[in-house]
Amino acid sequence: QFPFGRRLPCDIYWHGVSFHDNNIFSGQVNKFPGMMETVRKITLSRAMRTMQDLFPLEYNFYPRSWILPEELSLFVTEVRTMKDSNPSWKPTFIVKPDGGCQGDGIYLIKDPSDTRLTGSIQSRPAVVQEYICKPLLMDKLKFDIRLYVLLKSLEPLEIYIAKDGLSRFCTEPYQEPTLKNLHQVFMHLTNYSLNIHSGNFIHSDSVNTGSKRTFSSILCRLSSRGADVKKLWSDIISLVIKTIIALTPELKVYYQSDIPAGKPGPTCFQILGFDILLMKNLKPMLLEVNANPSMRIEHEQELSPGVFENVPSPVDEEVKVAVIRDTLRLVDPQKKKRKDTHLSFHTYLLIFPTQLQSLHAGNAGMKDKQHKHHSLKLSLKLKFYLKLGSCQSLKQAREASEELPDAPKSPEAALPSLCLKQVFPKYAKQFSYLRLVDRVAALFIHFLGVKGTTKLGPTGFRTFIRNCKLSNSSFSMAAVDILYIDITRRWNSMGIDKESGMCLQAFVEAFFCLAQKKYKSLPLHEQVSSLIEFCECRLAALHGKRLLWGCG
């Protein structure tokens, strides 16, 4: 660890919070610039809503959402309209603060009038969503799934999903929401950080029982009941890919701002935590995306009032160690150079000493013989990995493996198969038609002009209109200026970023308006697709002319 930075360059930088933890100019970083902002509840909801406008059936895995306080009147009106059209509809809504985490500030309501508008709602905006009242239950308890997703590259897009995840359980038997039980957080909220304080929370040494289990153990039980587990996995993969597709346009704008094209700089990768809820019919629903999922593999156990010890968590260890290990294997910069083995020696030096420290800390006050045995066994394994880390050749690695008892007899045997499964570009053909906003973002970035900015100025917007020949007698340049001012002013009044200019989301709204003007009879996604193709052709023709002029 280098808390004050490091002068010499590294292959891989493992930042704790964001891309900007340190100023770096080469290598690989485990964070994308702008990821924390992109997956915040409000930004995620806006991105998903844009995709729902374009492809409503493909994006029906995200609950209906409204943003408070700016859409409070819309929320009230739409709920009233839906109740009038369907009197039997008795919804429940969940309110989530935009910057909240670990269940902080979340509450349930039955009516829009119950929204808590007093206090900090203006300074702390929130998302309100339709609450999923009929979740799949296991042992009469509600649970959610934390899946780990590796975004290995943005351009080209490369996505991996861990083959196993965590299932986090509530600690009180579930009942559908009523006015009497709305405030029972241990019944309705699956957050681990909340339920761990419940007297009913069960820490288990087994991955199949307790208040935190592996997702694979849930799949086994579902399979034994006759559920179509293959279809469920297929639906989850589809949900992950579609969500990443919704997020990439905003990420690309941040990326070009911090790492301009054509200049030397680091590349990025990031492990994301997808929180998914299964409905009673096994339909997966996206709850949120976490930019910094916890990678702890132990939990605190209270020995006496105020006295705690760290105890290894077999469930966390089984899932999280594999995710980090295989992420490092996939991004290993030496992998292509190594011819005699696929084993990444230095990877172990990066991850396992930290785990060894955790085990020693957890073992310090441990009385349980089973935990001691588990810790000793893993420590021996880690010593083998660490010794392997100092080896420079396959021959040295084999010699190292012979020196330690119970060590794998070859470095090939030391590593299990990858737990991360590539889903994109593997399934790119099935989802490429959804990447319309990606292409709109490419147009936006093209006309940004000044490198390092994320906002489009009025001159850049006029140049976009002029170069793509979108103005005419019925849509003058004066009308273009009015469109820019109206949309930009509204979006800037909603955001916390005070930089002047048109953000990507505002540009997308303006682009949709232009598409609807130009192609009135088509559905929205065809209108947008047609305008994208029109603009791309115009710019290609303009580029061709410039090349000819250059030759001349």
Question: Three-state DSSP class for 266?
Answer: coil
Query: What are 477-526's pLDDT values in tens digits?
Result: 999 999 999 999 999 887 656 678 999 999 999 999 999 999 998 999 99
16: confidence class by pLDDT, cuts 50, 70, 90: confident
CA distances from 348 to 9, 150, 342, 395, 419 (A): 19, 19, 14, 18, 16
The single residue listed with the structure tokens 């850049």 is 460
DSSP of 51-93: HHHH-TTTTTTS--EEEETTTHHHHHHHHHHHHHH-TT----E
Per-residue model confidence (pLDDT) at position 390: 45
How large is the greatest C-alpha to C-alpha distance in the chain, in angstroms? 84
Does the pLDDT at position 48 exceed 90?
yes
CA distance 456 to 503: 6
Residue % of the chain over a pLDDT of 90: 58
Residue from 236, 226, 225 nearest 279 by CA: 236
Q: Report how far residue 528's alpha carbon sits from residue 54's, in angstroms, rounded to the nearest whole number.
A: 9
CB atoms inside a 10 Å sphere around CB 190: 25
Higher pLDDT, 521 or 149: 149
pLDDT level of residue 367 (50, 70, 90 thresholds): very low
> What confidence score (pLDDT) does residue 488 get?
94
Q: Which distant-in-sequence residues (6+ apart) come within 8 Å of 143 by Cβ?
A: 135, 136, 137, 167, 168, 169, 170, 190, 218
Which pLDDT does position 407 carry in this prediction? 56
Nearest residue to 52 via CA among 39, 42, 61: 61
Q: How far apart are CA 346 and CA 422, in angstroms?
A: 23
Lowest mean pLDDT across 229-233, 345-349, 460-464, 490-494? 345-349
Query: Of the given ranges (31-35, 350-354, 434-438), which has the lowest mean pLDDT?
Result: 350-354
Q: Which residue has the tokens 């930042």?
A: 15
Domain ranges in the chain?
A: 12-63+132-329, 431-549
Length of the chain counted residue by residue: 552
User: Amino acid identity of 95?
Assistant: V
| Sequence-ordered alpha helix ranges (H) in 86-171 | none
Residue 287 phi/psi, 5-degree rounding, is: -90, -55
Question: What span, in angstroms and rounded, lies between the C-alpha atoms of 186 and 200?
Answer: 9
The span from the CA of 97 to the CA of 68, in Å, is 9
Q: What is the pLDDT of residue 382?
A: 46
Question: Distance between CA 201 and CA 185 in Å, rounded?
Answer: 13
431-549 carries CATH number 1.10.1040.10 = no
**Residue 15, Cβ density class (10 Å: 0-12 exposed, 13-18 middle, ≥19 buried):** middle
Distance CA 415, CA 407 (A): 12
Rounded to an integer, what distance in angstroms lies between the CA atom of residue 391 and that of residue 397? 6
pLDDT at 271: 98
Q: Which long-range contacts (CB under 8 A, 24 or more apart) does 121-125 make?
A: 121/68, 121/69, 122/69, 124/97, 124/98, 124/99, 125/42, 125/67, 125/68, 125/69, 125/70, 125/97, 125/98
Q: What is the mean pLDDT of residues 346-367?
A: 40
According to the model, what pLDDT value does residue 349 have? Answer: 34
Distance CA 443, CA 534 (A): 12
pLDDT at 204 over 90: no
**More confident position, 154 or 98:** 154
Residue type, 171: T
Higher model confidence: residue 55 or residue 401?
55
Contacts of 207 (CB under 8 A, 6+ apart): 213, 214, 216, 217, 314, 315, 318
Is there a contact between 196 and 186 (Cβ–Cβ < 8 Å)? no
Q: Which residue has the higher pLDDT, 24 or 383?
A: 24
- Is the Cβ–Cβ distance between 52 and 291 less than 8 Å? no
342 pLDDT more than 50: no
Check pLDDT > 50 for residue 352.
no
CATH superfamily of 12-63+132-329: ATP-grasp fold, B domain (3.30.470.20)
Contact 161, 423 (CB under 8 A): yes
Reported as a single tens digit per residue, the pLDDT across 379-395 is 444 444 444 444 544 45
pLDDT in tens, 261-281: 777 778 999 999 999 999 999
- Name the most confidently modeled range: 156-170, 348-362, 385-399, 481-495: 156-170
Category of 454 on φ-ψ map: left (φ > 0), alpha (ψ -120 to 50) or beta: alpha
Q: Number of helices (H) and strands (E) in the chain: give both, helices first.
A: 18, 17
Instruction: Pick the range with the lowest mean pLDDT from 308-317, 346-355, 437-446.
Output: 346-355
Provide the token pair at 87.
């009197």
What are the tokens at 39?
Answer: 């997956």
pLDDT at 310 over 70: yes
Average pLDDT, the chain: 84
Distance (Å, whole) CA 394 – CA 411: 8
Q: Which pLDDT score, from 0 to 100, does residue 455 have? A: 93
* Helices 436-446 + 524-551 axis angle, to 10: 40
**Residue 486 φ then ψ, to 5°:** -60, -50
Q: What is the pLDDT confidence band of residue 76, given thresholds at 50, 70 and 90?
A: very high
Cα–Cα distance, 432 to 437 (Å, whole number): 11
114 vs 514, residue with greater confidence? 514
Average pLDDT over residues 24-42: 91
